[in-house]
Amino acid sequence: MSKIHNFSAGPAILPQVAIDNSIEALKDFAETGLSLITVSHRAKEFVAVMDQAVANAKELFGIGDDYDVIFIQGGASTQFCMVPFNLLPINGKAAYLNTGTWATNAIKEAEKLGNVEVVASSEESNFNFIPKNYSIPNDAAYFHITTNNTIYGTELHEDLDVNVPLIADMSSDIYSRPVDVSKYDLIYAGAQKNIGPAGTTMVIVKKGILGKTGRNIPTMLNYETHIKKESMFNTPPVFPIFVVNETFKWLKSIGGVEEIYKLNKAKAQLLYNEIDNNPLFKGTAAVEDRSIMNVTFVLKNDSLDADFLDYCKNANISGIKGHRSVGGFRASLYNALPIESVQALVDVMQAFSQKFG
Catalytically active residues, by annotation: 102, 169, 193
16-27 and 238-253 are packed helices; what angle lies between their axes, rounded to 10 degrees?
140
Residue 143, φ and ψ in degrees, nearest 5 = -120, 125
Q: Give the Å distances, CA to CA, from 12 to 6, 61, 123.
A: 7, 21, 26
Return left, alpha or beta for 345; rule: phi > 0 is left, psi -120 to 50 is alpha, else beta. Answer: alpha
Strand ranges (E), the chain: 5-6, 67-72, 93-98, 115-121, 143-146, 148-149, 154-155, 166-169, 186-190, 201-206, 281-283, 294-299, 317-318, 329-332
Q: What residues does 68 pair with on adjacent strands?
A: 205
Strand partners, 115: 93
Of 191, 99, 183, whose CA–CA distance to 145 is shortest? 99
